Amino acid sequence: MGELALIFIGSVLVNNFVLVRFLGICPFLGVSKELDTALGMGMATTFVLVLSAAATWLVQTFILVPFGMPFLQNVAFILIIASLVQLVEMFLQKASPGLYRALGIFLPLITTNCAVLGLAILVSQKDYTLIQAIVFALGTGAGFTLALAMMAGIREQLQFADIPKALQGAGIALITAGLMSMAFMGFSGLIAM
């Protein structure tokens, strides 16, 4: 239990995927203009992260390794993720139209979110068990949502700031992210990973 808690806290704060590991920067910069959409994107990504971590773990353990094909990892994982995202989209559309409307526009974007593939590869590198992999995915999703929501909150305020013309948009967003990343470095002593 303690180990699982460490994995969770470690992936939310110490090794935050966005601010420390640089995974999932595209949605972090692209969908962080409003708090509501940022939260929606965070939730959708967490959902896919957990599902794909479980699915890729099963495929890695029961298909790729026993048949001696770990070199097919990249191709297999990206296929699983792409089809999983499609499946989730179709399932939500039928089963829960409300949730589909809320998450709908973000789902296709998640296929090319490197956090999802990155997590799957990291799990296989670290030799996690299925439970550990799912907790790691949950923590990663929570960390991603946290970073996205904080960024959106800051950017909503930045709209009223007087920013030099050349830095407007991406420039100031990147510098803000740098300051946030510096703040997150304060957590690095929290757990010895």
Partner 1 sequence: MKSLRKEFLKGLWDEHPTFRLLIGMCPTLAVTTAASNGLAMGLATTFVLVCSSVIISLMKDLIPKKVRIPCYIIIVATFVTIADMVLAAYFPDLHKVLGLFIPLIVVNCIILGRAEAYASKMPVFHSFIDALGMGVGIIWGLTFLGIVREFLGMGSVFGMQILPETATSWVIFILPPGAFFTLGIVVGLMNQINYVLERRKRERTTGSVTAGQAVQG
Binding-site member from 90, 174, 190, 193 for partner 1 (CB under 8 A): 174
- Site membership for partner 1, residue 73 (CB under 8 A): yes
Interface of this chain with partner 1, residues 116 to 135, rule: CB under 8 A: 116-118, 121-122, 125
If the CB atoms of residues 102 and 154 are measured against partner 1, the closer one turns out to be 154
150: which residues sit within 8 A by CB, 6+ positions away? 180
Binding-site member from 63, 171, 190, 193 for partner 1 (CB under 8 A): 171
Q: What is the DSSP string of 28-39?
A: HHHS-SSHHHHH
Binding-site member from 37, 61, 93, 111 for partner 1 (CB under 8 A): 111
Q: Are 85 and 111 in contact (CB under 8 A)?
A: yes
Q: How many CB atoms lie within 10 A of CB 131?
A: 13
Tally the residues of the chain: 193
Count residues binding partner 1 (CB under 8 A). Answer: 44
Binding-site member from 10, 14, 24, 123 for partner 1 (CB under 8 A): 24
- Site membership for partner 1, residue 154 (CB under 8 A): no
CA distance linking residue 26 with residue 106, whole number of Å: 12
Task: Identify the residue whose tokens are 């946030």.
Answer: 180
